[in-house]
A and B are shown apart, each in its own frame.
Chain A
Amino acid sequence: MELRIFQIIVPVLVSGFIINLILKYRKGDASIYELILGGIFWFSVSFFALFPDAISNKIAKIFGIKSNVNAIIFFCIGLIFFFQFKLYSLYKKQQREITELTRKIALKEKE
């Protein structure tokens, strides 16, 4: 198998991200859930970089899309929407917590 330049760069970068994630976990800055989820994500990226054609063809076949490039675009758009949804949920949760805190202070001041 002839290695293309990105097939070397991406796994090297991914290794850096995974090491960083492990260090964060050991310091207590990341939960086991974040470590596992982050690990799966970065390994998938690395795996995809090593076998781009085989994986994209497989995805296209599974979803019944003719071109493997289109399949990757659809897949990425879906992924972006998923992360957008997760971020918005997180934002709403934090907003709720700020409101709750503000309310508690207001009521406590009036006790």
Chain B
Amino acid sequence: MKKEEIHIFIPAYNEEKMISSVIKDIRFCGFNHIYIIDDGSLDRTVEIAKKENAVVLRHLINRGAGAATQTALEYARKKKLPYVLFMDADGQHIPKQIQSLMDSMEKNQTDLIIGSRFLVKKTDTPFSRKTYNYIGNKLINLTSKYNYTDTQSGFRLLNKKAIHAIQLNIDNFGFCSEMILLAEKAGLKIDETAITVNYTDYSLNKGQNFLEGIRTIFSFWWKIIYN
């Protein structure tokens, strides 16, 4: 797997403060295929991303992180991209660690690699995040074949097989869990690899709050039950 084969998609909503540095950091690590899925931002996210020479796909209105991720997958299928990597736009994911996801995928011959914040012994993850993730993991692991340590991580690498097999329906953050269940259903090989995360006040404010977490859980279970 070569760096040129990795296409990095970043769903973004009102990320004018961080988007430029996120794109620059990725480029600095030698990855040149960068796509911003702008989810109806009202600020200068699109303008800045274009200035940084990223490919911008734009939702006219805000539809949620899951909807943006599905748009990226459809684009990747259309363009027959070999590998797709998702990462957050708030600067919490460290581009240097893309290599460890690539190595893990190659070594274990997996179709979907999830960067897990909870495989390292000491984690800087704040208590609130740990709690959300603990609840999220428990709820997903109830329905999944395997036990995952970080079902809510947005740092993921998919190969062509996964890109073609996964068709997301949940528009909000529930897509993280939905992706795992769909991948399992499609018989894909899934694995986790340890990552560390840069938590800042900015990234903590951008993530899911308690109410958003409740909505995510509700929409996920609605999908499970209703389907």
Q: Which residues of A contact B (CB under 8 A)?
A: 89, 92, 95-96, 98-99, 102-103, 105-107, 109-110
* B75: chain A residues within 8 A (beta carbon): 107, 110
Nearest Cβ in chain B — how far from A91, in angstroms? 11
Is A105 a contact of B60 with CB atoms below 8 Å?
yes
Given A95-B171, A99-B63, A99-B171, A109-B58 contact (CB < 8 Å): yes
Q: Are A99 and B67 in contact (CB under 8 A)?
A: yes
B61 at the interface (CB under 8 A from A): yes
5 CB-based A-B contacts, threshold 8 Å: A92-B222, A99-B63, A106-B37, A109-B57, A110-B57
List which B53-94 residues lie within 8 A (CB) of chain A: 55, 57-61, 63-64, 67, 70-71, 74-75, 78
A99–B59 alpha-carbon span in the complex (Å): 9
Contacts of A103 in B (CB 8 A): 59, 63, 67, 70-71, 74
Once A107-B57, A109-B58, A110-B57 are accepted as A-B contacts, the answer to whether A102 and B74 lie under 8 Å apart by CB is: no
Name the residue on A nearest B56 (C-beta).
Answer: A110
Given contacts A98-B63, A99-B63, contact A106 B58 (CB under 8 A): yes
Chain A contacts for B99, CB-based, 8 A? none
Given contacts A107-B71, A107-B75, A110-B75, A102 and B169 within 8 Å (CB-CB): no
| Total contacting residues, chain B, CB less than 8 A | 20
CB distance from A105 to the nearest CB of B (A): 6
Please give the residue numbers on chain B whose beta carbons come within 8 Å of chain A beta carbons, in ascending order: 37, 40, 55, 57-61, 63-64, 67, 70-71, 74-75, 78, 169, 171, 222, 226
Bound CA span A109–B222, Å: 32
Closest to B63 in A: A99
Considering the chains assembled together, what is the distance between the CA atoms of A106 and B40 in angstroms?
10
| Chain B nearest CB, measured from A92 CB (Å) | 8
Check B71–A106 contact: CB distance below 8 A.
Answer: yes
Most B Cβ at <10 Å: residue of A89, A98, A105, A110 = A110
Given contact pairs A98-B61, A106-B37, A107-B57, a sample of 12 additional A-B residue pairs in the complex whose CB atoms are under 8 Å apart: A99-B64, A102-B60, A102-B67, A103-B59, A105-B60, A106-B57, A106-B60, A106-B71, A107-B78, A109-B58, A110-B57, A110-B75
Q: In the complex, what residues of B have CB within 8 A of residue A107's CB?
A: 57, 71, 74-75, 78
CB-nearest residue of chain A to B39: A102
CA distance A41 to B222 in the complex (A): 28
CB distance from B20 to the nearest CB of A (A): 21
Neighbouring B residues of A98 by C-beta, 8 Å: 61, 63
- Measured CA separation A103–B77 after assembly (Å): 14
CA distance A98 to B60 in the complex (A): 11
List chain A residues, Cβ under 8 A from B55.
Answer: 110
